[in-house]
Amino acid sequence: MREGDKIQELWKEREYLSVQLEDATKELARLDLLNLTLTRQKRQAIAAFHLIKVMQEKIQRAFTIGELYFNVVKALTSELFMDSAAVLRINFETKDISLLASAGLPENLKCLKLYKNIAKQQLLNPTLVNSKSPLQSFHTFIRKSFKCPYFTWYPMADEEGGTLVLFVGNRVEDLVSKQPFSEESLETFGAISSVILLRRDNIAYTQEMLRKKEERIDFLAEILRSSPVSVIATDADAKIVYCNPAVEELYGYTGEELIGRDPGMLNAEPNAAEIQREVVDTVRAGKVWKGEILNRKKNGDLFYIRASIYKVLNSKGDFIALVGFHEDITGRKRDQERLREYEARYSHLLDHMPDGVALTQRRRIIRVNPPMARMFSYPSPESMEGLSLLDLASPGSEEIVRQQSTPRALGQQGENRFEFQGLCKDGSTFPAECTLTMDRGEAKSFLLAIIRDVTARKTFEEQRKLFSERIIVAQEKERALIARELHDELGQALTGIKMDMSWIKSHTKGQDEAVSARFEALGNLVDTTIESMRELAASLHPSVLDRLGLTTAIEWYAGEFERRTGIECMIESESSDFNIDSNAAINVYRIFQEALTNVARHARASRVDIRIAHNRGYLTICISDNGKGIPPQKFSEPMSLGIAGMRERAQLVKGRLDIQSRRGKGTKVTVYLPTSP
């Protein structure tokens, strides 16, 4: 081969090798660039992992939300070497930015106002600002306010007070020691935000649970403090560690005097040590010890308690304490003794009395006799125990029984008698009379109730009332008949006698003067007899009552009364427009007559005021005098002054009579009568 050809061949090979070398160089450069990129990403990933790990450790140490936010910003500025960090809350309504926690920011930077030209959407997007970022109004606001030209802005969550934001900023951009300001860093801060929010939710949940537990503990503690039952707690060594105020009140010791002491110091039983061992053995076996113990107060007084003692375990099931509830039962035991005395005292009544007998304590029946059970249709006396007297009264009679069972109703004598409508177990009712007797001993809660079925008596009273009504009606008819006979027969006869005497007198005129004088006297006697006959007829049955009504009859009789007695009668009638039947009218008229008769006979009055009124379906007639009044003892003797007859007449027409009197102040008699519509 020629030399030239060899040289040319060498040049071709050189050119080929040069091309290969250039390609290899390019590939190496590309590999070097790729390796650089991978190294940078690896470094960023390692830094992000390290940051998240450190943040998680810091976050887990926080037990309050404020401490959580402080740990976050502290870790960002110390572990990641950031110039500043903050957790913010943005209120979009007021345009306020509040710093919940911050590090590396000015001390006076506590609350900022957003610029009006900043859109809400800008603040809600995760944002990073580095040397390559185009500036916006939002970026300018942050740079000016926080003095950090390079920063990461990451909204975390919306809450009631606004939007939470994580802020991290630098004053210089140094990508060697500080690595948050790239697109990848947003993912890192997103992970950090998730960890923060998760921990925040855990803290909030834990705080809420603690708050509820504290409220529950406070609630239970308040129950113990305010409970009237004494509560004593001991530790595992049987030393008192807690006692509520009721213990102090019951025993007379202060809490400081009892804490650390053995509860056996309160026991006054002769075998106190044996009882204490029994309590401990019973409770440690998992049972509740209950019993009555004789205890001693600080001042030495002895009294009985009812104790319930049980053990308290911790979460692992280990025994840690004893808790005892003490109730003073001295009064109860005294009541039991009184009850035994009562049962002995009234055993004859309970066993042999034909009427129903019940012994009650604190308003509850504790014993009844067989007649009581039969009266109220209960299967046995024992089945009535635990009831109250109110349970034996019909719904309309409960209030009567309640009022009549009070100490005021029982009075100084400790006894009261009243009537009510009894309620049987089968729902039927019957009229009953109850006599209550209160114990006047030390325990005043005992009542002895003797109950009688007065159905027969009520039936007799109704029959007597009906019979009395019929008698009064018959009497009025008889009076009316006699009045008419007097007026028609005797009146006409007297009138005829007077006419005949006038004729005789006219034919003997001028004759014997003695005869004329006798005729004159006889005529006057006839006139007087006629007047007396008319008054008697009007008294038996006033014809004006039939012709002109009750009001006119009352006015007429008042005028006659004033003329006969000289006692002034003043009548005030508000209304005469009422409707009552003739039977009611005559009975009210008789009551009015009797009231005025009493005034004339007993009152020594100079004036009587009569008032007639009709209102709301009731006719009211009031007769008041200015006399000496009725002595109080006269009210217990209703037959004197005709009070019983007046009351009976009022009851016959379904009315009511009320009498009020004061010594030297006169008497007022009022009759109330229902009228027809």
427 and 461 in a single domain? The answer is: no
Q: Nearest-CA neighbor of 321 among 308, 312, 333?
A: 312
Helix (H, G, I), strand (E, B) or coil at 456: helix
* Residues spanned by the domain of 384: 340-453
pTM score, whole prediction:
0.40
| Interacting residues of 647 by C-beta distance below 8 A, sequence separation 6+ | 638, 657
CA 513/CA 447 separation, integer angstroms:
90
Structure confidence at residue 39 (pLDDT): 44
User: Is residue 222 included in any domain, yes or no?
Assistant: no
CATH number at residue 599: 3.30.565.10
Helix (H) or strand (E) segment spanning residue 30: helix 3-60
Structure confidence at residue 317 (pLDDT): 79
499 and 632 in a single domain? The answer is: no
Q: Last residue of a domain, which of 453, 471, 494? A: 453
Q: Out of 54-68, 138-152, 221-235, 254-268, pick the least confident.
A: 54-68
**What digits encode the pLDDT tens for the residues 377-435?**
999 989 999 999 999 999 989 999 998 888 888 877 778 889 999 999 999 999 999 99
**Percent of the chain at pLDDT exceeding 90:** 14
CA 382/CA 364 separation, integer angstroms:
13
User: Is residue 233 included in any domain, yes or no?
Assistant: yes
Provide the pLDDT confidence category of residue 31 given band limits of 50, 70 and 90: very low
Average of pLDDT values for 188-192? Answer: 80
188 and 281 in a single domain? The answer is: no
User: Is residue 37 included in any domain, yes or no?
Assistant: no
Q: Last residue of a domain, which of 541, 568, 598? A: 541
373 and 244 in a single domain? The answer is: no
Average of pLDDT values for 66-77? Answer: 87
Residue 86 reports pLDDT greater than 90: yes
Helix (H) or strand (E) segment spanning residue 373: helix 370-375
Residue 608 reports pLDDT greater than 50: yes
615 and 656 in a single domain? The answer is: yes
User: Is residue 18 included in any domain, yes or no?
Assistant: no
Residue 535 reports pLDDT greater than 90: no
* Listed ranges 305-319, 366-380, 474-488; the one with the highest mean pLDDT: 366-380
User: Is residue 107 included in any domain, yes or no?
Assistant: yes
431 and 513 in a single domain? The answer is: no
Q: Out of 231-235, 304-308, 492-496, 656-660, pick the least confident.
A: 492-496
The overall average pLDDT reported for the chain is: 79
443 and 472 in a single domain? The answer is: no
Q: Last residue of a domain, which of 490, 513, 541? A: 541
Residue 443 reports pLDDT greater than 80: no
* Listed ranges 404-408, 531-535, 624-628; the one with the highest mean pLDDT: 624-628
Structure confidence at residue 283 (pLDDT): 84
Q: Out of 31-45, 138-152, 600-614, pick the least confident.
A: 31-45
CATH number at residue 158: 3.30.450.40
User: Is residue 192 included in any domain, yes or no?
Assistant: yes
Structure confidence at residue 171 (pLDDT): 85
How many independent structural domains does the chain possess?
Answer: 5
664 and 565 in a single domain? The answer is: yes
User: Is residue 175 included in any domain, yes or no?
Assistant: yes
Q: What is the torsion angle, in degrees rounded to the nearest 10, for the CA atoms of residue 280, residue 282, residue 286 and residue 292? A: -100
CATH number at residue 275: 3.30.450.20
**What digits encode the pLDDT tens for the residues 498-514?**
676 677 667 666 666 67
Phi, psi dihedrals of residue 95, rounded to the nearest 5°: 65, 25
Cβ-based burial of 613 (10 A; exposed 0-12, middle 13-18, buried ≥19): middle
Is residue 305 left, alpha or beta, with left meaning phi > 0 and alpha meaning psi from -120 to 50?
A: beta
User: Is residue 66 included in any domain, yes or no?
Assistant: yes
Structure confidence at residue 482 (pLDDT): 65
364 and 382 in a single domain? The answer is: yes
Residue 139 reports pLDDT greater than 50: yes
101 and 188 in a single domain? The answer is: yes
535 and 550 in a single domain? The answer is: no
Residue 221 reports pLDDT greater than 80: no
195 and 294 in a single domain? The answer is: no
